[in-house]
Structure 1
Amino acid sequence: MTAGGSNRLLTPEEVASWLKVSELTIKNKYRAWGLKPQKVGRLLRFRERDIVAYLEEHYG
């Protein structure tokens, strides 16, 4: 695992659970929050390290 989190891909549902918001909030707000999605086919995925970086930047 790297210093800023892993390269593990998280589903919007996993990110929502982690951030304590709804999955719909993640799908509607990820662009405004500056979260970088990874497209896997038609599916949205988020790198764990990007979520950790977002949390440290805004709340840490």
Structure 2
Amino acid sequence: MDDRANRLGLEPLLGVAELAEYLGVPAQRIYDWRLTGVGPRGYRLGRELKFPVSEVTRWLAERDERTGSAGSTYGEVQR
């Protein structure tokens, strides 16, 4: 799918497990962040929850701006 998406010019999407692994947090934390409106914007596609890579990047940059440090731990999200 990734090769086809790239050929079509589509942005890659991350699933909950992929995002959790990338951030080094449990998958449940991704769901908790979503419920509280703290996490990156995701989209429900059928039964799946997907996150555009650009949205994750934007969300991480916003976290760095709020904490004032580029070395912040992604699991420590300000609410």
TM-score interval (norm. to shorter)? 0.7 to 0.9
2:47 counterpart (38, 42, 51): 42
Tell me the number of residue pairs that the alignment of Structure 1 and Structure 2 aligns.
Answer: 55
Higher Rg: 2
Distance 2:60 2:49 in 1: 19
Deviation, 1:34, is 4.2
Structure 1 regions of 5+ residues with no counterpart?
1-5
| 1:51 partnered with 2:56 | yes
Over residues 30-52 of structure 1, what are the superposed CA-to-partner deviations in whole Å (9 max), with x where a residue is unaligned?
24314211111121111111000
1:20 counterpart (24, 29, 47): 24
| 1:29 partnered with 2:24 | no
Instruction: Give the number of the structure whose residues are more often strand, by fraction.
Output: 1
Distance 1:24 1:10 in 2: 15
> Which aligned segments of 4 or more residues in structure 1 are displaced greater than 2 angstroms?
none
What's the TM-score once normalised by structure 2's chain length? 0.60
What's the TM-score once normalised by structure 1's chain length? 0.76
Identity rate, percent: 25
